[in-house]
Amino acid sequence: MGDGKPDVLQGTLDLMVLKTLEAMGPLHGYGIARRIEQVSGETLTLNQGTIYPALLRLEQRGWIKSEWGLSEANRRAKFYSLSRTGRRQIEAETENWERVAATMARFLAPSS
């Protein structure tokens, strides 16, 4: 996948996409990728292409839906938005992620 760039864990990427859509509303793939890069402060340079299998995965699960629309520059693009299950899923995924993060934090904390 990534050659040299940090691999983004699948679940992490999914959550990022969901959060992005929650915050921004309907957005096309490029927009989502840019937003993720910006929010992560450009520390996470993801292969933008990897966003598309992730989007498909989320759509297959029914968490997001897509429809064709026009971009700012009047270009035809596919816009993704959160579905109702997706909204509910964010909570579950967030909780899940916080638990993992907390666990990791305990491991990484300097032993006192």
Residues that bind other proteins (CB under 8 A): 1-2, 28-31, 33-34, 45, 47-50, 52-53, 56-57, 59-62, 71, 73, 75-78
Instruction: For the CB of residue 56, give the shortest distance to other proteins in the complex, in Å.
Output: 5
Instruction: For the CB of residue 30, give the shortest distance to other proteins in the complex, in Å.
Output: 4
User: What is the Cα–Cα distance from 45 to 33, expressed in whole angstroms?
Assistant: 10
Instruction: For the CB of residue 38, give the shortest distance to other proteins in the complex, in Å.
Output: 12
The side-by-side arrangement of strands in the sheet containing 27-28 is: 27-28, 76-82, 64-70
Distances from the Cα of 79 to the Cα of 34, 46, 62, 100, angstroms: 14, 20, 15, 31
**Of 29 and 82, which CB lies nearer to other proteins in the complex structure?**
29
